[in-house]
Amino acid sequence: MTKSAFQTLTWIEEKRALRLLDQRRLPNEELFFECRDLQQVAKAIKTLAVRGAPAIGVAAAYGVVIGVQEETVGKDPFTAQKFNKIIDKLAATRPTAVNLFWALARMKKVGEEGLRKGFAEAKLRDLLLLEANLIYAEDDQAHHRLGKYGEKLIPAEARILTHCNAGALACAEYGTALGVIRAAQAAGKKIKVYADETRPLLQGSRLTTWELLKEKIPVTLICDNMAAHCMAKGMIDLVIVGADRIAANGDTANKIGTYSVALAAKAHNLPFYVAAPTSTIDFSLAQGSAIPIEERDPDEVRFFGERATAPSEVEVYNPAFDITPAALISAIITEKGVFTPAELSAIH
């Protein structure tokens, strides 16, 4: 399988630690740090040191392993109550990305089974590590398959708009929206990417452009409010974005601003694709209005980096995500194939 030019997250067994690329520091500094306790993992997820729905899920899985390690070294016997506290702490970090809860549910099932069988702490920890490693491997494999399916939708020459970051930085290794783009380039297609800056935290300008330059994929950065203009000028052929949660009817939660891009694409008769693994589909929610939307620190909007750009006392509304209605989505690209929103029930 094709590897990315960097590792977003890596388990280091000899150190019993999770190594993360600190995405808060990009693009100015490529800094890695190691999480050795549960609080460090939870903080890394909450503060966006690691971000992107699939990557959050993988990081949380390893966070469970770290939490169990922490609780079983020189302490009282490990209990179901202690295990549930670990799960709950990680679940409380971010509310929208369903991959977090999907991964934690898998880890919880393995942990509860081990506790039920009376496994010693060391064996329980090793079983949980095996499951976390499996989640990592499945993530990578799913996104490679997703990329191959999605690549077939890309013309031989294509100018692609994307919003936020749905690449290797947001996953174990390969990427969803950018995985499709990487697969298209590998297939010999002549592609160019336009990346929205993605206010207020600039994941498009800080992360997507950094990642695409690393991969030697042509990319042009534009401000968020330029997307419709570029479409009207005939500069865009299609849009591909990732997702943090997809409801059963195909309504999709993604980074704030995605809905605006989808509306513009519809107005200009451009395909609008969502690329996400099936673990991002939440079949328990009938429609997007039921998806919880995270609201973040108002200072993310009052400041541009470290510079204040608004009065300190001004009221701020800062939702991290919006919902793109299924009617605006041309297709959803998954590791099981390409589906219209109406066809999602076939893979449930």
Q: Is 244 a catalytic residue?
A: yes
ω into 200 cis (within 30 of 0) = yes
Residue owning tokens 């306790």: 37
CB 189 within 8 A of CB 157: yes
Q: What is the DSSP letter of 161?
A: E
3-state SS, residue 69 = helix
3, 69, 133, 184, 278 from 12: Cα distances, Å: 18, 14, 11, 32, 28
Q: How many Cβ atoms from other residues are within 10 Å of residue 305's Cβ?
A: 9
Question: Which amino acid is residue 312, in one-letter code?
Answer: S
CA atoms within 13 A on the CB side of 72: 19
Question: Which amino acid is residue 189, in one-letter code?
Answer: K
Output b/e per residue, 239-257; b: 16+ Cβ within 10 A. bbbbbbbbbbbbbbbbbbb
Q: Which two tokens stand for residue 262?
A: 């989808």
Q: Determine the Cα angle at 237 with ends 55 and 143, to 5°.
A: 25
Q: Which of 244, 251, 282, 322 is catalytic?
A: 244
Question: Would you mind telling me the total number of residues written for the chain in this entry?
Answer: 348
Catalytically active residues, by annotation: 244
